[in-house]
Structure 1
Amino acid sequence: MNRISDLFQRKKNNILNVYCTAGYPQLNSTLPVMKALQDSGVDMIELGMPYSDPLADGPVIQASSSKALANGMTIATLFEQLRGFRQQIHVPVILMGYMNPVLQYGFEKFCQHAADVPVDGLILPDLPEYEYENEYGAIIQRYGLKFIFLVTPETSEERIRRLDSLSTGFLYAVSSSSTTGKDKDMHAVNSYLQRLQDLQLKNPVLVGFGIKDKATFRQACEHANGAIIGTAFIKALENTPDVEGATKKFITDIKN
């Protein structure tokens, strides 16, 4: 069974998914950060593949991408780093990135290498559903990878149901239509998540964008299966010589 499916079967609520940028803060930080996240008790890791023009990312994650690219991170380098990583990382891992570098790498080759290492799923925010259905979805499925679509408060009920039917891991509920890292009106977010809950969707729902601490994590989990934290964690890694210590402190503060 896919690790994502297994996770949601074992644990229905309070699932903590943390985003980190591959190759940040140092080129060789990828695995130490992932190991520290796992050891600190996160349920899932969303591993960002740095890109020069990340549409959905706010300034903090953009800056981490720029630093990772300057460090020399590429998709090929990332797959080298991930070779054999399952000997120490057992939680589900999702690669998050954008179509341009994936297409340059070669879409099928990318899926094959992702499955080989192996990761469990993909988030590609700029892959349209039409192209997913008619071209890329079959390739993703051929290699046993889950695919996660994003919905926002502005997404119509009809489209939410459509994207829910296409998603195979979980549904990523973006808390607002802005970029990552901005403070959100959690009351408005709660009513949006309640609306998703009332739709009785096929997939579990994880909420992201603006989840930054214990309080916002708990609020997000009231009407969703869990939450995704990115910007706040990347900030915690800035200018620290002790990546493992900073990671442990950050996750402990959220979970305890």
Structure 2
Amino acid sequence: MNRIKQLFNNKAGKKMLSIYFTAGYPRIDSTIELAKTLETAGVDFLEIGFPYSDPVADGPVIQHSSEEALKNGMSLDLLFQQLKELRQHVQIPVLLMGYVNPMLQYGVERFCKSCAEVGVDGVIVPDLPMYEYEELYQDVFRKYNISNIFLITPQTSEARIRKIDELSTGFIYMVSSFATTGKNLTVSEQTTAYFERIKALNLHNPLVVGFGIADQASFDHALTYADAAIVGSAFVRLLDQEDYLEQIPSFVERIKGSVAV
């Protein structure tokens, strides 16, 4: 059982928070430092983005961080080199998030093997088609015990959601709206109806809400219907501050609404 499954099996009513940041931003060597600081601050699991020049699902904040990370020299080869010391410092689950082209260029089996070697537990690749994963890559992911995380949106059909639930081995990423990252979650009748519809399906896998979680109100609303929520753009904005490491504990506390545990 990998760390993702262990985390959700031991949830016991805990308010679960994930933070996304882009590898190589704000500095080329920020990755391990940020991961350590976020775990200490009480974050439950991490999503580390590997930058790509054409990020179709990302809003301007994360796009900018990817552009700067690439300028800084970040690549998958360098990221895996940096992550060799990950498990010396970080115990919580860690996922990589990015796009399929860099993964294909690196080699899918080599990518999964590298993830396993450095202690990465899962990956989120929004533009990896489900049928390609099932037909071409599922056995490779499972060989290395790497969870592939699928995304669903308000437009995803029940049949597709059921299929995703069948293929998933970690959690299901519930995109809060049909938009790019960085748009604040609007607590509306439409959003609530979507959350209620998915919760009523009684899926086997945990649900994690992302896109638009930026404060305690949106975090708490998401957790009414899901097992965890992800903060991305709001955290990446924080990294523009010179004292971002010192601000991380209070940032996490503001989202969770209590002292991080």
Q: What is the distance in 2 between the residues matched to 1:10 and 1:100?
A: 35
What is the aligned partner in structure 2 of residue 127 from structure 1?
128
Q: What is the distance in 2 between the residues matched to 1:45 and 1:64?
A: 17
Q: What is the distance in 1 between the residues matched to 2:59 and 2:12?
A: 29
CA contact (8 A) 1:33 1:243 kept: no
What is the aligned partner in structure 2 of residue 160 from structure 1?
161
Which 4+ stretches in 1 moved above 4 angstroms? Answer: none
What is the aligned partner in structure 1 of residue 95 from structure 2?
94
CA contact (8 A) 2:185 2:218 kept: no
Give the AA of the match of 1:190: T
Give the AA of the match of 2:10: R
Q: 2:228 aligns with which of 215, 226, 229?
A: 226
What pairs with 1:1-256 in structure 2 (closer than 5 Å)?
Answer: 1-13=1-13, 14-187=15-188, 188-238=190-240, 240-255=241-256, 256=258
CA contact (8 A) 1:33 1:247 kept: no
Give the AA of the match of 1:33: L
Give the AA of the match of 2:218: T
Give the AA of the match of 1:231: S
Q: What is the distance in 1 between the residues matched to 2:230 and 2:87?
A: 22
Give the length in aligned residue pairs: 255
| Alpha-carbon shift at residue 242 of structure 1 (Å) | 2.1
SS at the partner of 2:17?
A: strand
| Alpha-carbon shift at residue 12 of structure 1 (Å) | 4.7
Q: What is the distance in 2 between the residues matched to 1:22 and 1:199?
A: 35
Deviations 1:154-204 (A, max 9, x none): 111111111111111000000111100112322222221111110000100
Deviations 1:53-90 (A, max 9, x none): 11111000000000101111000000111002101100
Q: What is the distance in 2 between the residues matched to 1:180 and 1:140?
A: 26
Deviations 1:124-164 (A, max 9, x none): 11110110111011111111111110000011111111111
Please report the RMSD computed on the Cα atoms of aligned residues, expressed in angstroms.
1.0
Q: What is the distance in 2 between the residues matched to 1:56 and 1:128?
A: 14
Q: What is the distance in 2 between the residues matched to 1:133 and 1:98?
A: 17
Q: What is the distance in 1 between the residues matched to 2:12 and 2:166?
A: 19
TM-score by length of 1: 0.97
| Alpha-carbon shift at residue 118 of structure 1 (Å) | 1.2
CA contact (8 A) 1:23 1:68 kept: yes
SS at the partner of 2:21?
A: strand
Q: What is the distance in 1 between the residues matched to 2:213 and 2:112?
A: 29
Give the AA of the match of 1:10: N
Give the AA of the match of 1:6: Q
Give the AA of the match of 2:214: K
SS at the partner of 1:83?
A: helix
Q: What is the distance in 1 between the residues matched to 2:12 and 2:111?
A: 31
SS at the partner of 1:28?
A: coil
Give the AA of the match of 1:55: V
SS at the partner of 1:186?
A: coil
Deviations 1:87-109 (A, max 9, x none): 11000000001110111111111
Any gaps of 5 or more consecutive residues in structure 2?
A: none
Give the AA of the match of 1:223: Y
Give the AA of the match of 1:123: I
